[in-house]
Amino acid sequence: MIPDNEKLSYEYIRGLVEGEGCFTFCSVKRRKDDIEEFRFIIPTFVIGMHERDTNLLIMVKNTLKLRNKINTYPPRERKDGYKRGAMSHLVVRDLGQLKNIIVPLFYKKLKGNKGRQFEQWLEKIGNDPAVPDSYKFIYKIYKAGFYDRNPGFE
């Protein structure tokens, strides 16, 4: 077993994300005045792996100095009988960590489909009215060229 405190290279982390990561949104519903429900979506970065690789997720978390905990879910069986092993996930939704760690790490560094997914994610952050205004700051500085002028995690 590799020690949890071993540092991973940023290129290695990007490679893991190309295969196992996802740039997505988490739906949140809130009640207002105990009557009406409104929905918003939070930009979310997720990397998930079989529980046997939880140690690797811990190393990603430690290398990037993320504050999030890693959640492990038990094995499950799908309706078609396929048995899926236990999974561990690292989920980042925090505005500061997305803006200062996740976006700079992956900006213009992913290739193929994951690179397109990342760009579409940034665009949706800025253009979807269901995304809270506070998160739109990520889009504004992205469009203003901040990440071009301040490349991170070389």
Q: How confident is the model at residue 152 (pLDDT cuts 50, 70, 90)?
A: confident
Range of the domain at 34: 10-149
Q: Which residues contact 7 (CB under 8 A, 6 or more apart)?
A: 59, 62, 63
Q: How confident is the model at residue 3 (pLDDT cuts 50, 70, 90)?
A: low
pLDDT tens-digit readout, 98-125: 999 999 999 999 999 999 999 999 999 9
Is position 34 within any domain? yes
Is position 5 within any domain? no
Stronger pLDDT, 83 or 115, i.e. the higher one: 115
Is position 64 within any domain? yes
Is position 2 within any domain? no
Is position 81 within any domain? yes
Q: For residue 110, give the nearest of 143, 49, 102 by alpha carbon.
A: 102
* pTM to 2 decimal places: 0.88
Is position 69 within any domain? yes
CATH number of domain containing 31: 3.10.28.10
pLDDT of residue 81: 77
Q: Specify whether the CB–CB gap between 20 and 47 falls below 8 A.
A: yes
Q: How many domains does the chain divide into?
A: 1
With 90 as the cut, is the pLDDT of residue 97 above it? Answer: yes
Is position 154 within any domain? no
pLDDT tens-digit readout, 14-65: 999 999 999 999 998 877 666 667 789 999 999 999 999 999 999 999 999 9
pLDDT of residue 84: 80
Q: Specify whether the CB–CB gap between 17 and 90 falls below 8 A.
A: no
